[in-house]
């Protein structure tokens, strides 16, 4: 068996779609696991929809996910890689034309002079009579010489593939044996009047010429695969092994629309999700490990992946599950790494942390690690460190500051802070001791501390955050809180 060669062939008409990412992931996993080659090929034949910035945007998505390619086209700073180029379909046009001509000259295809209008009428009639809409093969048996003459005279025509008799059998890695009667297919077009290829011809030629051995793609192509198989055969290529994967559905169970937030994989980066989360989650939509393991790093995925555990049914996107997976990854991440990933989110929120030491920032990340579900939540969890409290959480004010005895308790807390070292341990012990002495519960003290120091009712542990805030600042904030409560 020759070396595994797989590919992802997106049409760069925008961003990297979550569905494309899923397909790319499985191709990539297979390549990495087998030591094979992962090829990036751009299906950019739809010229007006393809722009260089789209190519860049799409590849930014791949890079963020950590899906790297061994062969692919040049763009931006990327050099062309690989010996099977060009890797843009638009630059392979002549190859496709030649393949079409070859089939024509071998009698495996023929020119069709039917007009579009004729065919439209025929199709409509078929619909009305509840017959399957298929081309009737009118031009199939046209005399070759006559056909050529009409073509040379400039008569508009397309080239159709002459679908052979018999049946086509595909051994799909996911779908199993797919057997189709060739008579279910009409003679489909392979070359447009301009001589440009139709998609089906182009992919087959490209996959054939690039020696692609395995094709993992969306199951929307399952029916097309029989056509492709016939084309592979007719052109004398070895057929690759196919694996048709179910597509990604949105939370309503519909095909993931491009317009939906989250269709772009980079939307998830923006929302504070980790690339390994996306890989992990998407892998679990359509593949399951044999055991109860659910959390996988990129490397673990490469190791654990196996073709025979791919599923056939489509899965709906589930935000809650994604969040959970993200939390799991955040928790196992080295603290320095979490710090470095979280800091840019603070910058984006306009928070200036340049005055803090690296050690302090690491500590800040550490006290949040067990609580965060997304990177973005860091802002809500820590912004009070970097600015004065301009407003106390209204609900918390009602629940804490406006309670009977709040002021007395704040005075007690202030005394504790004044008399003790401002460390997690010291504060904890001191508060506990005071609680016992005054017969108070921690629940009557800690929420007041939190609210006074952070203005919020949630966040990192109170003593931990107090230590990071520093003694002077804590005392100042407690005094402010006392003034505030007096004014109520």
Partner RNA sequence: AGCGUAGUGGCCAAAUGGUUUAAGGCACAUGGUUUUCAUCCAUGCGAUUGCGGGUUCAAAUCCCGUCUACGCUACCA
Q: Which of 5, 11, 23, 364 binds RNA (CB under 7 A)?
A: 11
Strand, helix or coil for residue 26: helix
As a whole number of angstroms, the distance between CA 265 and CA 182 comes to 39
Buried b (16+ CB within 10 A) or exposed e, 420-456: bebebebbbebbeebbeeeebeeebbbbbbbbbbbbb
As a whole number of angstroms, the distance between CA 416 and CA 433 comes to 10
> Interface with RNA includes 125 (CB under 7 A)?
no
Strand, helix or coil for residue 257: coil
Least distance between RNA and beta carbon 355 (Å): 26
Q: Which of residues 334-373 bind RNA (CB under 7 A)?
A: 370-371, 373
Determine the size of the site formed for RNA (CB under 7 A).
83
> Interface with RNA includes 121 (CB under 7 A)?
no
- What is the token pair recorded at 87? 């890797």
* Inter-residue contact 13 to 50 (CB < 8 Å): yes
Least distance between RNA and beta carbon 330 (Å): 10
- What is the token pair recorded at 219? 């199951």
Report the residue number, 85 or 461, with the smaller CB distance to RNA: 461
Least distance between RNA and beta carbon 206 (Å): 10
> Interface with RNA includes 292 (CB under 7 A)?
yes
Q: Which of 60, 78, 186, 473 binds RNA (CB under 7 A)?
A: 186
- C-alpha angle 248-250-256 in degrees, rounded to nearest 5: 65
Report the residue number, 83 or 152, with the smaller CB distance to RNA: 152
Least distance between RNA and beta carbon 1 (Å): 25
Least distance between RNA and beta carbon 354 (Å): 28
Site map (CB under 7 A) of RNA, residues 244-283, x = contact: ---x-x---xxx----------------------------
Report the residue number, 2 or 130, with the smaller CB distance to RNA: 130
Report the residue number, 11 or 147, with the smaller CB distance to RNA: 11
Least distance between RNA and beta carbon 352 (Å): 25
* Inter-residue contact 11 to 30 (CB < 8 Å): no
Q: Which of residues 217-246 bind RNA (CB under 7 A)?
A: 219-224
Strand 189-191, strand 214-218: pairing: unpaired
Least distance between RNA and beta carbon 482 (Å): 18
Site map (CB under 7 A) of RNA, residues 87-106, x = contact: --x-----------------
Q: Which of 84, 199, 353, 386 binds RNA (CB under 7 A)?
A: 199
> Interface with RNA includes 294 (CB under 7 A)?
yes
Report the residue number, 4 or 111, with the smaller CB distance to RNA: 111
- C-alpha angle 318-320-325 in degrees, rounded to nearest 5: 100
Exactly one of 254, 258, 312, 399 is catalytic; name it: 258
> Interface with RNA includes 162 (CB under 7 A)?
no
> Interface with RNA includes 150 (CB under 7 A)?
no
| Phi, psi at 310, each rounded to 5° | -80, 140
Q: Which of residues 420-449 bind RNA (CB under 7 A)?
A: 424, 428, 431, 442-443, 446-447
| Phi, psi at 25, each rounded to 5° | -60, -45
- Helical H runs in 173-257? 199-209, 222-235
Strand 315-316, strand 248-249: pairing: parallel
Q: Which of residues 379-408 bind RNA (CB under 7 A)?
A: none
* Inter-residue contact 197 to 8 (CB < 8 Å): no
63 is catalytic: no
Q: Which of 140, 303, 331, 438 binds RNA (CB under 7 A)?
A: 331
- What is the token pair recorded at 128? 């009305």
| Tally of residues, the chain | 488
Least distance between RNA and beta carbon 77 (Å): 25
* Inter-residue contact 26 to 245 (CB < 8 Å): yes
> Interface with RNA includes 19 (CB under 7 A)?
no
83-88 long-range contacts, Cβ below 8 Å, gap at least 24? 84/39, 84/209, 84/210, 84/211, 87/39, 87/40, 87/41, 87/42, 88/41, 88/42, 88/44
> Interface with RNA includes 123 (CB under 7 A)?
yes
Which listed range, 78-86, 127-135, 259-267, 408-416, lies at the site for RNA (CB under 7 A)? Answer: 127-135
Least distance between RNA and beta carbon 2 (Å): 27
Q: Which of 7, 200, 298, 477 binds RNA (CB under 7 A)?
A: 200
Q: Which of residues 446-475 bind RNA (CB under 7 A)?
A: 446-447, 450, 457-459, 461-463
As a whole number of angstroms, the distance between CA 422 and CA 474 comes to 9
Q: Which of residues 32-71 bind RNA (CB under 7 A)?
A: 43, 45-46
Number of C-beta neighbours around residue 355 at 10 A: 7
Q: List, by residue number, the catalytic residues.
A: 258
């Amino acid at each position: 068996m020759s070396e595994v060669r797989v590919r992802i062939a997106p049409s760069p008409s925008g961003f990297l779609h979550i569905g494309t990412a899923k397909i790319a992931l499985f191709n990539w996993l297979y390549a990495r696991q087998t030591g094979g080659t992962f090829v990036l090929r751009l299906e950019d034949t739809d010229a007006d929809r393809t722009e260089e910035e789209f190519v860049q945007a799409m590849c930014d998505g791949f890079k963020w996910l950590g899906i790297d390619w061994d062969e692919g086209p040049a763009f931006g700073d990327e050099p062309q890689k690989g010996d099977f180029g060009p890797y843009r379909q638009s630059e392979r046009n002549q190859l496709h034309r030649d393949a079409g001509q070859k089939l024509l000259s071998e009698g495996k295809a023929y020119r069709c002079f039917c007009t579009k209008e004729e065919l439209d009428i025929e199709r409509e009639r078929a619909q009305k009579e509840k017959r399957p809409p298929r081309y009737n093969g009118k031009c199939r048996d046209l005399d070759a010489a006559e056909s050529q003459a009409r073509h040379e005279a400039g008569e508009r025509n397309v080239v159709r593939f002459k679908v052979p008799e018999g049946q086509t059998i595909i051994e799909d890695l996911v779908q199993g044996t797919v057997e189709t009667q060739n008579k279910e297919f009409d003679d489909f077009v392979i070359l447009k009047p301009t001589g440009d290829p139709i998609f089906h011809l182009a992919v087959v030629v490209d996959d054939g010429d690039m020696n692609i051995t395995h094709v993992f793609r969306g199951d929307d192509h399952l029916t097309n695969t029989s056509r492709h198989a016939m084309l592979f055969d007719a052109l004398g290529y070895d057929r690759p092994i196919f694996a048709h994967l179910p597509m990604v559905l949105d939370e309503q169970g519909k095909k993931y629309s491009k317009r939906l937030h989250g269709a772009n994989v980079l939307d998830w980066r923006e929302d504070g999700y980790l690339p390994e989360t996306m890989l992990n989650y998407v892998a679990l939509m359509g593949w399951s490990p044999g055991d109860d393991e659910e959390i996988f790093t990129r490397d673990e995925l490469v190791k654990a992946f196996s073709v025979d555990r791919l599923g056939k049914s489509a899965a709906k996107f589930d935000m809650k599950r994604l969040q959970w997976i993200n939390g799991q990854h955040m928790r196992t991440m080295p603290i320095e790494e979490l710090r470095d990933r979280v800091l840019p989110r603070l910058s984006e929120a306009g928070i200036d942390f340049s005055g803090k030491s690296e050690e302090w920032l690491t500590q800040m990340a550490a006290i949040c690690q067990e609580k965060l579900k997304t990177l973005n939540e860091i802002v809500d969890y820590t912004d009070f460190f970097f600015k004065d409290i301009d407003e106390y959480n209204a609900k918390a004010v009602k629940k804490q500051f406006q309670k009977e005895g709040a002021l007395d308790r704040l005075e007690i807390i202030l005394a504790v802070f004044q008399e003790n070292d401002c460390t997690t341990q010291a504060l904890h012990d001191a508060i506990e001791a005071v609680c016992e002495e005054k017969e108070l519960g921690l629940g009557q003290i800690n929420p007041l501390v939190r609210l006074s120091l952070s203005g919020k009712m949630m966040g990192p542990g109170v003593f931990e955050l107090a230590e990071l805030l520093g003694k002077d600042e804590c005392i100042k904030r407690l005094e402010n809180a006392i003034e505030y409560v007096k004014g109520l």
